């Protein structure tokens, strides 16, 4: 079973949709306490997964809450019109998670390392975000036309600052008192098809670095004292996952050959774990794979996310012209 192998290899599953599919594939049945709905758009498919019960939380490995996945492979195309439409879809889905008043402050946090492109999604989104909190003091009339007070922060990573990211955010939250925190971070996917083409929104917060095995203090309602919405995009895939997928395909081919099908069935997760670790050598499960065009992909998707956030938070931002507000 894939879930068992991932546990042995200490591979975290960032995306709720992938976790759902893996568990359902292993058990062959629906997960009790989990509700899933799909909706199709011209350039995207939206899947909403609701983890409703603590028992389901243990099965799927995700906290009770709502997880929205926007699958839009056309993000990888250099088509601004399509990107605009995906930003509008993102805005509508984000609006369903907003539980704040029209004048509440919102803090946008771009998580990640701006010096490493696959991890620079959060800081890049902050670079493009429409920030308006300062206008409340210096130009309050500008906020009367449908602009919400929004501030933004890219706190860096522990290796650069020497400070836990959550501690920095806690200090800013304490001083600025936002009604909501929106945290953006890069994720690790279980499929290369999802790199820079899927966007996950969750009302459960986020654990920085969990996708690459780093356990950090969570950024959620419990730690921040205010609601936290997480927006994540897969930018890497664990090499062990790719190796496991290749082994699975190979075994499927073997299973179709009666002469060796029994031998293929005898391979268990322990054997597969040993094979994968031997192939990856000293990097074991710490080797991450990203496409060579990741710079362009991060640039495109950071603008989509910044635009979607601006449309959702600021009523005066015209969805047709949100690009004019990007920095």
CA angle 117/178/210 to nearest 5° reads 35
Q: What is the DSSP string of 124-185?
A: HHHHH----TTHHHH-GGGGGGT---EEEE----HHHHSS-HHHHHHHHHHHH--SEEEEEE
In a domain, 264, yes or no: no
Nearest C-alpha neighbor of 110 from the set 311, 317, 322, 309: 309
CATH number of the structural domain spanning residue 118: 3.40.50.1450
Rg (CA), the chain: 21
In a domain, 109, yes or no: yes
Q: What is the pLDDT of residues 69-88, one digit of tens each?
A: 999 999 999 899 999 999 99
Cβ burial of 154 (10 Å; 0-12, 13-18, 19+) is buried
Q: What is the pTM of this model?
A: 0.88
Q: How many domains does the chain have?
A: 1
Cβ atoms of 96 and 202 within 8 Å: the answer is no
In a domain, 317, yes or no: yes
**What span, in angstroms and rounded, lies between the C-alpha atoms of 93 and 289?**
29
Instruction: Tell me how crowded residue 66 is: count the other CB atoms within 10 A of its CB.
Output: 18
End-to-end CA distance of the chain: 46
Q: What is the pLDDT of residues 255-275, one digit of tens each?
A: 777 766 666 666 666 777 777
State whether residue 70 is helix, strand or coil. Answer: strand
Strand partners, 276: none
In a domain, 261, yes or no: no
- C-alpha separations of 8 from 32, 111, 123 in Å: 25, 28, 33
In a domain, 146, yes or no: yes
Q: Containing domain of residue 204, as a range? A: 2-242+283-325
Q: How large is the average pLDDT for residues 191-197?
A: 92
Q: How large is the average pLDDT for residues 220-246?
A: 91
Cβ atoms of 214 and 208 within 8 Å: the answer is yes
Cβ atoms of 70 and 44 within 8 Å: the answer is yes
Cβ atoms of 32 and 14 within 8 Å: the answer is no
pLDDT at 209 over 70: no
In a domain, 120, yes or no: yes
H/E stretch holding 223: helix 221-224
> How would you classify the pairing of strands 65-71 and 198-202?
antiparallel
Phi and psi torsions of 164, nearest 5°: -60, 135
So what's the pLDDT on residue 98? 94
So what's the pLDDT on residue 320? 64
So what's the pLDDT on residue 298? 95
Q: Which residues contact 270 (CB under 8 A, 6 or more apart)?
A: 8
In a domain, 254, yes or no: no
In a domain, 263, yes or no: no
**What span, in angstroms and rounded, lies between the C-alpha atoms of 16 and 49?**
7
Cβ atoms of 288 and 212 within 8 Å: the answer is yes
Q: What is the pLDDT of residues 116-171, one digit of tens each?
A: 999 999 999 999 998 988 887 666 666 556 788 999 999 988 888 888 899 999 99
Q: How confident is the model at residue 4 (pLDDT cuts 50, 70, 90)?
A: low
Cβ atoms of 22 and 251 within 8 Å: the answer is no
């Amino acid at each position: 079973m894939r879930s068992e192998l991932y546990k042995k290899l200490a591979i975290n599953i960032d995306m709720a949709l992938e976790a759902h599919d893996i568990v359902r594939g292993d058990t062959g049945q629906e997960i009790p306490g989990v509700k899933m709905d799909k909706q199709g758009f011209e350039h995207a498919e939206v899947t909403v997964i609701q983890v409703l019960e603590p028992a389901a939380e243990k099965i799927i490995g995700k906290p009770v809450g709502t997880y929205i996945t926007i699958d839009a492979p056309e993000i990888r195309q250099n088509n601004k019109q399509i990107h605009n439409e995906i930003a509008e879809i993102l805005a509508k889905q984000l609006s369903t998670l907003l539980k704040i008043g029209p004048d509440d402050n919102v803090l946008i946090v771009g998580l990640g390392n701006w010096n490493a492109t696959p991890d620079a999604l959060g800081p890049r989104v902050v670079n493009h975000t429409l920030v308006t909190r300062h206008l409340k003091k210096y130009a309050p009339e500008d906020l009367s036309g449908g602009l919400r007070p929004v501030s933004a922060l890219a706190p860096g990573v522990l290796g650069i600052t020497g400070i836990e990211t959550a501690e920095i955010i806690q200090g800013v939250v304490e001083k600025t008192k936002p009604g909501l925190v929106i945290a953006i971070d890069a994720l690790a996917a279980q499929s290369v098809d999802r790199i820079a083409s899927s966007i996950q929104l969750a009302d459960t917060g986020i654990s920085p670095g969990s996708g690459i095995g780093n356990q950090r203090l969570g950024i959620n309602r419990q730690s921040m004292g205010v609601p936290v919405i997480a927006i994540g995009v897969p930018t890497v895939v664990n090499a062990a996952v790719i190796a496991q997928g290749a082994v699975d395909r190979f075994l499927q081919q073997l299973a179709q050959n009666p002469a060796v099908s029994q031998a293929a069935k005898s391979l268990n997760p322990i054997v597969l774990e040993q094979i994968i670790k031997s192939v990856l050598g000293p990097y074991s499960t710490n080797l991450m794979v990203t496409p060579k065009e990741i710079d362009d992909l991060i640039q495109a998707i950071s603008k989509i996310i910044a635009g979607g956030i601006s449309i959702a938070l600021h009523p005066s931002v015209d969805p047709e012209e949100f690009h004019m507000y990007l920095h």
